[in-house]
Chain A
């Protein structure tokens, strides 16, 4: 895996897993790789992967079956969508609006761009 952004690696791993859940690559109740397997696949310390799994567990996106492994929660998709919507409204949209102001773009130009 290529890590580019300035985000901590364990957060980038969380993003990658969430991305797979949204795209349907990981379905509810599917087992995800063990910490060690996943770490080996992407060349990352297992303890880092552990932190990612712990964060996702805390958010209810995955769950742990003792001694068996980690699985995708049935409501994972909804939780992720909710998180990302919130992030869009709180971080991304204000950034776009700031940029529009900076460039002198009027909000009215957007109306024609938004698909029905």
Chain B
């Protein structure tokens, strides 16, 4: 379990994260959403110990990330948004660097590369951005870590790779691992990320499972206008409206509409979910 309490961070005078408190449970694939510049990447780098908190604390199953204990680091993988182009064949990279992760499996690396139709014999600095990204995603999953943090993993992936990514993430992570995936491409990851975390500069606006969201909010795709709608958006053939769920019927959660609803009604939504 990852416990973040009253976390604060700033770059010089410029505060980025303030008073962030949340808990991440094991066995879940969290989606971390937030507008540009709210500090999603900063939060990920704090969780893996690349930066130190200014205030508050992070506790990862008893580890303080910034201490960077080898036992902790060998059970963690952070996939950054920008990945280095190495002058090495993908398979050699995996063999050499896999040693740093205790549970790394080279066979799994090749299997996932296969799913992505990526050639492990190719040199990484000769790959396209998407191919390079898929190589690192394959490596990240082959490390068999308990904590996997990914920053915009589907950026640069072509259309078939997005479905392959969803399959790989589901198939190749273990039941006790915690994944935290930051993304703007919510459509790429819809049905994969659950719970959803929505971050704001000063606050965690939402940290709830899909089950909880569909219990508390109703996503209506019909043409009937509702006055109680917190958010509505025109779509071909009608509209999406979001309103507090008063029946026990559960609808399909639309993450984009959810995001916009939460941003329009920060306090109200917090109130609905704190009950």
Contact = CB atoms under 8 A, between A and B. Distances in A.
Given A41-B167, A43-B170, A6 B219 contact: yes
A5 B221 CA distance: 9
With a 10 A CB-CB cut-off, give which of A10, A11, A41, A46 has the most chain B CB atoms. Answer: A46
B250 A11 contact: yes
B53 interface: no
A36 B171 contact: yes
Contact of B251 (A7, A43, A48): A7
Interface in B209-223: 209-211, 214, 219-222
Interface stretch (B4-12, B144-152, B186-194): B186-194
A45 B251 contact: no
A36 B191 contact: no
Interface of B: 27-29, 163, 166-168, 170-171, 175, 191-194, 209-211, 214, 219-222, 250-253
Interface string A21-57: 0000000000000001101110111111001000000
A58 B192 CA distance: 24
Contacts of B222: 6
A43 B28 contact: no
A109 interface: no
A40 B167 contact: yes
A1 to B, nearest CB: 9
Contact of B194 (A7, A43, A45): A45
Most buried by A among B163, B168, B192, B221: B192
A48 B27 CA distance: 12
A47 B193 CA distance: 10
B171 A43 contact: no
A8 interface: yes
B170 A46 contact: yes
Interface in A1-17: 3, 5-12
A57 B211 CA distance: 18
B252 A43 contact: no
A110 to B, nearest CB: 27
B171 A45 contact: no
Nearest to A42: B191
A42 B105 CA distance: 25
Contacts of A39: 170-171
